[in-house]
Chains A and B, each alone.
Chain A
Amino acid sequence: MKLLVSAGKQTIDALKHEAVDGLIIGFSSLSQRTQDPFDLNRDSVETLKTINQDNVKLYVLLNGIFHEPDLPKIETFFKLIKQADLPLEGILFADLAVFESAEMHGFTDKLIYYPETYVTNPQDVSFWHKQNIKSVVLSREMTLDNIKKIAQSSPLPLTLFAHGYLNMFHSKRRLVKTFFDYTKDDDANKYTHQTLHIKEEIRDAFYPMIQDDHGTHIFRDKPLASFEHLKTLKNDVDALLIDGLFYEPDRFLTIVKDYIRALKGETIDASRYDDHDQGFYFKDTIYQKERVKRGG
């Protein structure tokens, strides 16, 4: 099972020496909910090319939601990597505009569909297999049982978000700014790009929230950890995503080292993850489907 690890400008040099199968980097205008992304320009691509020479497999996160004015940026990306001949192992995408551009530029076989909530059953995987892409990332609210059911008949290698803060809300609206505009704060923009938390009146959880150039994002209160389930997941999925958003670089490096050790069967200090949880692995959310009967 592959370990694919998020990396930013500050962390990539440390992470490239670890025994991971790939580093996932973001570009500021094309990627969202990623720490420390690269700028979309020739210098960045040349830097990444240098890193690639260390036999690091590079994955790119292009998970933005693109409106009409954003489309040229996708073209710029493909032109830059083609001009620089930057070897990419995979391109994680959510917006189908990326598929269209990748197809035009001959990158379909590098694509990994990562819409976060849309890949929920075997037929989805079958559909994407027919589009000739490399892999799909399963939806984040899948139980372990459902992951197994999807894996049993999967024609595609499956990828799973296995560690980090799961995003649970993305609005295009600047909801922090509008709130401080409403309360007539002198500088309604002062919390942009800062980590805030929201707490609902009758619940105890503090949910991380960030407003940035893509809008407003809210995350689950506890990060997901998958150490206990690696043996099971090895049978079901091809690659795990380990995400570093909200972690200090040193802490994230420790997490990555722990996954490398755990996958080798070595024991790790589980107490380091007491403040994590198991996401939706055992949380089957409610949906009651009634039986379908003609005329019934």
Chain B
Amino acid sequence: MVDKPELLAPAGDLEKLKIALLYGADAVFIGGKAFSLRSRASNFDLSDIEEGVTFAHKLGKKIYVTTNIFPHPDDMDGLIEYLKALEDIKVDAIICASSAVIDVASTHTNLEIHVSTQQSLTNHKAINFWAKRGVKRVVLAREVTLEELKHLKKHAHADLEVFIHGGMCVSYSGKCTLSNTMTDRDANRGGCAHSCRWNYDLFKDGEALNKTTPFSMASKDLQSIKYISSLLDIGVHSLKIEGRMKSIHYIATVVKTYRALIDELADDIDVDIPKYLLEIKKAENRLSSHGFMEGLTDVNQQLYDLRSEQPTQSFIALVLEYDATTKQALIEQRNKFKCGDYIEVLSPGFDPVTFKLETLSTEDGETIDVAPHPKQRLIIQTPFPLKPFDMLRKPYQN
């Protein structure tokens, strides 16, 4: 039996935070409305952060807040006040990229400091630079391979956090200003326009080298099901899922899958890897691969001829309430479904179960056959009890 690493999940709002924790995350990272990247994610204000921290601490779990922009001079206004507020709220750590933010935090607060992947730390000496300056943990660059990680772990004096799942910067993180040049949006202050995922033509001395296929730099998402065992053996401290802008279904599915996998591996149970690969695929909206786990990436880690991601349509409703007397559930629609559909229930701590939907009505009691309206609240009869935050989805079909 090996020590279990922390499973760290993203959350863009309070609902996602609660779902991540209920579905098995040990900690959640969130962004405040200030000083955080992912400006399009629905970031938290201080009262939301406080509510999230209270919710997590009651479960014995943790909340980390990203303060990971590289601030320009005017952006520094209010930083000390903000960090002290986070300390008062009792967030468990902040995730910083800028030496300025790290310096201010360590001077004015006792907050635990994690260095962001935006620093692109790839070796133990760079990690130890920060460890000597009071940093507790570093989030490694996504370019670090498993072999490098084995060596690095032996010599690093800070806790190590490793990305295991989600989107990948194709550039070394924190080093890219494509957005700044091409769209006037500062990638290092939350404005990344994902210009690396656009289509380009490629030229040599004025002659186009790509005849029919657009040149692209887009990478597949990271998916590490097969590598969790090695990461446990190496002894990294935290396994990180990316995606503060992802849906609650994505968070629930990915967190629940890795939670079960980590628990089985830690208990020395023979794991059924194909089962986990099938389950994680239900949350996939872009092709995935193993990133740098096995070494330098090749063509199999890149995406071509694909303009955009394809959101999964399989998540159909979130359970809001369940009445054990009537055996009815109040649900909120997320994708179209109808009576007669087979529905799979995703629930924290349980294997998915399926039933056939026989009755469907509005909150006003009107019987309907089809549920086409996003966010509509509906009532269904179920053959077994459900719980708030359970998710209903269409069974996966290859």
With A141-B180, A191-B204, A200-B199 in contact, do A100 and B35 touch (Cβ < 8 Å)? no
Q: Could you say which residues of chain B place their CB within 8 Å of the CB of A182?
A: 213, 299, 302, 304
Q: Is A231 engaged at the interface, CB distance under 8 Å to the other chain?
A: no
With A174-B296, A289-B34 in contact, do A97 and B126 touch (Cβ < 8 Å)? yes
Name the segment of B95-103, B223-231, B256-264, B359-367 touching the other chain.
Answer: B95-103
Check A285 against B191 for contact (C-beta < 8 Å): yes
Q: Could you say which residues of chain B place their CB within 8 Å of the CB of A120?
A: 70-73, 98, 100, 188
Task: Map CB proximity to B onto A261-292 as digits: 1 under 8 Å, 0 otherwise.
Answer: 00000000000000000001001011111111
Q: Could you say which residues of chain A place their CB within 8 Å of the CB of B219?
A: 173
Closest to B85 in A: A294
Measured in the bound complex, the distance between the Cα atoms of B98 and A169 in whole Å is 19
Check A286 against B46 for contact (C-beta < 8 Å): no
Measured in the bound complex, the distance between the Cα atoms of B113 and A127 in whole Å is 16
Closest to B179 in A: A285
Measured in the bound complex, the distance between the Cα atoms of B303 and A178 in whole Å is 10
Measured in the bound complex, the distance between the Cα atoms of B102 and A149 in whole Å is 20
Name the segment of A3-11, A51-59, A66-74, A242-250 touching the other chain.
Answer: A66-74
With A120-B71, A201-B198 in contact, do A292 and B99 touch (Cβ < 8 Å)? no
Q: Is B181 engaged at the interface, CB distance under 8 Å to the other chain?
A: yes
Q: Is B313 engaged at the interface, CB distance under 8 Å to the other chain?
A: no
Measured in the bound complex, the distance between the Cα atoms of B178 and A140 in whole Å is 12
Q: Name the distance in Å between A206's Cβ and chain B's nearest Cβ.
A: 7
With A96-B125, A120-B98 in contact, do A146 and B73 touch (Cβ < 8 Å)? yes
Q: Is B161 engaged at the interface, CB distance under 8 Å to the other chain?
A: no
Closest to A285 in B: B186
Task: Map CB proximity to B onto A165-192 as digits: 1 under 8 Å, 0 otherwise.
Answer: 0101111111110110111000000010
Q: Could you say which residues of chain B place their CB within 8 Å of the CB of A203?
A: 182
Q: Is B276 engaged at the interface, CB distance under 8 Å to the other chain?
A: no
Q: A68 is contacted by which of B128, B151, B188 (Cβ under 8 Å)?
A: B151
Q: Could you say which residues of chain B place their CB within 8 Å of the CB of A149?
A: 73-74
Check A97 against B189 for contact (C-beta < 8 Å): no
Measured in the bound complex, the distance between the Cα atoms of B176 and A146 in whole Å is 20
Check B129 against A99 for contact (C-beta < 8 Å): yes
Q: Could you say which residues of chain B place their CB within 8 Å of the CB of A99?
A: 129
With A122-B73, A293-B46, A295-B46 in contact, do A206 and B299 touch (Cβ < 8 Å)? no
Check A199 against B297 for contact (C-beta < 8 Å): no
Q: Is B172 engaged at the interface, CB distance under 8 Å to the other chain?
A: yes
Q: Is A29 engaged at the interface, CB distance under 8 Å to the other chain?
A: no
Check B215 against A179 for contact (C-beta < 8 Å): yes
Name the segment of B1-9, B75-83, B374-382, B388-396 touching the other chain.
Answer: B75-83
Interface size class of B (residues with CB under 8 A): 35 or more
Closest to A290 in B: B33
Check B123 against A68 for contact (C-beta < 8 Å): yes
Q: Is A121 engaged at the interface, CB distance under 8 Å to the other chain?
A: yes
Q: A287 is contacted by which of B120, B122, B151, B189 (Cβ under 8 Å)?
A: B189
Check B299 against A178 for contact (C-beta < 8 Å): yes
Check B302 against A168 for contact (C-beta < 8 Å): no
Check A296 against B129 for contact (C-beta < 8 Å): no
Q: Could you say which residues of chain B place their CB within 8 Å of the CB of A175?
A: 170, 217, 302
Q: Is B267 engaged at the interface, CB distance under 8 Å to the other chain?
A: no
Q: Could you say which residues of chain A place their CB within 8 Å of the CB of B299?
A: 178, 181-182
Q: Is B110 engaged at the interface, CB distance under 8 Å to the other chain?
A: no
Q: Is A128 engaged at the interface, CB distance under 8 Å to the other chain?
A: yes
Q: A196 is contacted by which of B125, B184, B209, B304 (Cβ under 8 Å)?
A: B209
Task: Map CB proximity to B onto A89-126 as digits: 1 under 8 Å, 0 otherwise.
Answer: 00000011101110000000000000011101111101
B194-224: which residues lie under 8 A (CB-CB) from chain A?
195-196, 198-204, 209-210, 213-217, 219
Check B33 against A140 for contact (C-beta < 8 Å): no
Q: Could you say which residues of chain A place their CB within 8 Å of the CB of B179?
A: 285
Q: Name the distance in Å between B158's Cβ and chain A's nearest Cβ.
A: 12
Check A118 against B201 for contact (C-beta < 8 Å): no
Q: Could you say which residues of chain B place their CB within 8 Å of the CB of A66?
A: 122-123, 126
Tell me which of A101, A191, A206, A290 has the highest count of chain B C-beta atoms within 10 A of its own C-beta.
A290
Provide 20 A-B residue pairs closer than 8 Å at the C-beta atoms, listed in order of the A residue. A68-B151, A70-B123, A96-B126, A117-B174, A120-B73, A121-B73, A178-B301, A179-B302, A182-B299, A182-B302, A221-B181, A283-B180, A283-B184, A285-B189, A286-B184, A287-B69, A287-B189, A288-B39, A289-B34, A294-B47
Which residues of B come within 8 Å of A, CB atoms? 32-35, 39, 45-47, 50, 69-76, 78, 81-82, 85, 97-104, 119-126, 128-130, 143-145, 148, 151-152, 170-172, 174-182, 184-186, 188-191, 195-196, 198-204, 209-210, 213-217, 219, 292, 296-299, 301-302, 304
Q: Which 3 A-B residue pairings sit nearest by Cβ, starting from the closest? A: A123-B100, A97-B125, A287-B189
